Amino acid sequence: MTDSKTISKGRILSGMRPTGKLHLGNYVGALRNWVGLQDQYECFFFIADWHALTTDYADTRSVKQNSLEVILDYLAAGLDPERSTLFIQSHVPQHAELHLLFSMITPLGWLERVPSYKEQKENLKDKDLGTYGFLGYPLLQSADILIYQANFVPVGEDQVPHVELTREVARRFHQFYPRKLSAGCRDPKREVVFPEPQPLLTPTPKLPGTDGRKMSKSYGNTILMSEPEPSLRQKLKTMVTDPARIRRTDPGDPDKCPVGDLHKIFSSSETMAKVYEGCRTAGIGCIECKGWAADSLWSVLEPMQERRQKYEANPKLAWDILEVGSAKARKVAEATMVEARDAANLSHDYEAPTKSIAGD
Ligand code: TRP
Ligand code: SF4
* In the chain, where the domains are located: 4-206+315-343, 227-309
Pocket test for ligand 1, best of 14, 89, 90, 149 (most atoms within 8 A of CB): 14
pLDDT of residue 353: 72
Question: What is the mean pLDDT of the segment spanning 206-227?
Answer: 95
Task: Determine the Cα angle at 226 with ends 212 and 199, to 5°.
Answer: 70
pTM: 0.93
The helix/strand count (H/E) of the chain reads as 17, 5
pLDDT tier at 1, thresholds 50, 70, 90 = very low
pLDDT tier at 64, thresholds 50, 70, 90 = very high
pLDDT tier at 13, thresholds 50, 70, 90 = very high
pLDDT tier at 2, thresholds 50, 70, 90 = very low
* Closest approach atom of ligand 1 to CA 141: 9
**Does an H or E element contain 231, and which?**
helix 229-237
Question: What is the mean pLDDT of the segment spanning 329-350?
Answer: 92
Pairing of strands 152-155, 84-88: unpaired
Per-residue pLDDT at 265 exceeds 90: yes
Question: What is the mean pLDDT of the segment spanning 66-91?
Answer: 98
In angstroms, what is the span from residue 306 Cα to ligand 1's centroid?
27
In angstroms, what is the span from residue 145 Cα to ligand 1's centroid?
9
Q: What is the DSSP string of 260-305?
A: HHHHHHHS-HHHHHHHHHHHHTT-S-HHHHHHHHHHHHHHHHHHHH
pLDDT of residue 185: 56
Amino acid at 121: K
pLDDT of residue 187: 66
Indicate whether residue 153 lines ligand 1 (CB < 6 A): yes
Contact 170, 146 (CB under 8 A): yes
pLDDT tier at 237, thresholds 50, 70, 90 = very high
CA distance 51 to 63: 10
CATH classification (class only), 4-206+315-343: alpha beta
Indicate whether residue 293 lines ligand 1 (CB < 6 A): no
3-state secondary structure of 152: strand
Q: Mean pLDDT in the chain?
A: 93
CA distance 46 to 90: 10
pLDDT of residue 118: 87
Indicate whether residue 95 lines ligand 1 (CB < 6 A): no
Amino acid at 304: M
pLDDT of residue 208: 96
pLDDT of residue 14: 98
* Helices marked H in 11-159: 24-26, 32-37, 49-56, 63-77, 94-105, 108-112, 115-123, 132-135, 137-146
In angstroms, what is the span from residue 310 Cα to ligand 1's centroid?
28
258-266 vs 286-313: helix crossing angle, rounded to 10? 50
Pocket test for ligand 1, best of 162, 201, 216, 217 (most atoms within 8 A of CB): 162
User: Which has the minimum average pLDDT: 68-72, 120-124, 348-352?
Assistant: 348-352
pLDDT tier at 203, thresholds 50, 70, 90 = confident
Per-residue pLDDT at 184 exceeds 70: no
Question: What is the mean pLDDT of the segment spanning 264-268?
Answer: 97
Query: Would you give the DSSP letter of residue 169?
Result: H
Contact 114, 129 (CB under 8 A): no
Per-residue pLDDT at 7 exceeds 90: no
Amino acid at 59: D
Question: Which residues have CB under 8 Å from 32's CB, separation 6+?
Answer: 77
Indicate whether residue 51 lines ligand 1 (CB < 6 A): yes
Amino acid at 283: G
Task: Determine the Cα angle at 96 with ends 93 and 102, to 5°.
Answer: 145
Task: Determine the Cα angle at 83 with ends 62 and 143, to 5°.
Answer: 55
Per-residue pLDDT at 18 exceeds 60: yes
pLDDT tier at 296, thresholds 50, 70, 90 = very high
* Helices marked H in 152-266: 160-176, 229-237, 258-266
Superfamily of domain 227-309: Tyrosyl-Transfer RNA Synthetase (1.10.240.10)
pLDDT tier at 92, thresholds 50, 70, 90 = very high
Pocket test for ligand 2, best of 241, 246, 288 (most atoms within 8 A of CB): 241
Question: What is the mean pLDDT of the segment spanning 29-57?
Answer: 96
pLDDT of residue 349: 67
3-state secondary structure of 14: strand
Percent of the chain with pLDDT over 70: 93
Smallest Cα–Cα separation from 32: which of 213, 209, 202? 202
